[in-house]
Amino acid sequence: MFLEGLRAQHVLMTQAPAAAAQTGTCGGLGGACVADHDGSPFGPEDSHCTGPSVQMPDRYGHDFPTAELMQWTGDEPVMNIGRDTPELDLAGVDQLLADLRQYTARIAGLRAQLARLQGGGR
């Protein structure tokens, strides 16, 4: 869970451009939807909107899940992080960020210990 949390934090750091422009009109995500709405949904509840993807840059990018805002018809917007993480509401994102701050503090502690062990303590 901590590693996934770290990945999620880094995902939030960089926002990639939208993959596709919205076609037609859409009120989902306050009009910031980038989903292709040309296809017919199976039912009204199957229609959804997605926002631009946010991903980790540089050499870690392929290991970190992307994040995006998402909204199903009739539901409140949520954050989707990768395929294996439940959709997060605002309180869930706040908890994730709190957990990540604790995790990164622990990683910083390990980094300081590593620097001392390698003779480069600061």
Q: Among candidates 80, 72, 66, which has minimal Cα distance to 49?
A: 72
Largest CA distance in the chain: 63
Q: Is 29 inside a domain boundary?
A: yes
Cα 98 to Cα 42: distance, rounded to the nearest angstrom: 38
Q: Is 48 inside a domain boundary?
A: yes
Q: Is 39 inside a domain boundary?
A: yes
pLDDT of amino acid 12: 44
Q: What is residue 26's DSSP assignment?
A: -
Spatial contact of 101 and 8, defined as CB atoms under 8 Å apart: no
Query: pLDDT: is 65 or 101 the higher one?
Result: 101
The total number of structural domains in the chain stands at 1
Question: What predicted TM-score, i.e. pTM, was given to this entire model?
Answer: 0.65
Query: pLDDT: is 11 or 106 the higher one?
Result: 106
Q: Is 122 inside a domain boundary?
A: no
SS3 62: helix
Spatial contact of 112 and 121, defined as CB atoms under 8 Å apart: yes
Note down the domain range covering 97: 2-117
> What does the pLDDT look like over 25-76, one tens digit per residue?
577 888 888 887 777 766 666 678 889 888 877 776 677 888 999 988 888 9
pLDDT of amino acid 3: 44
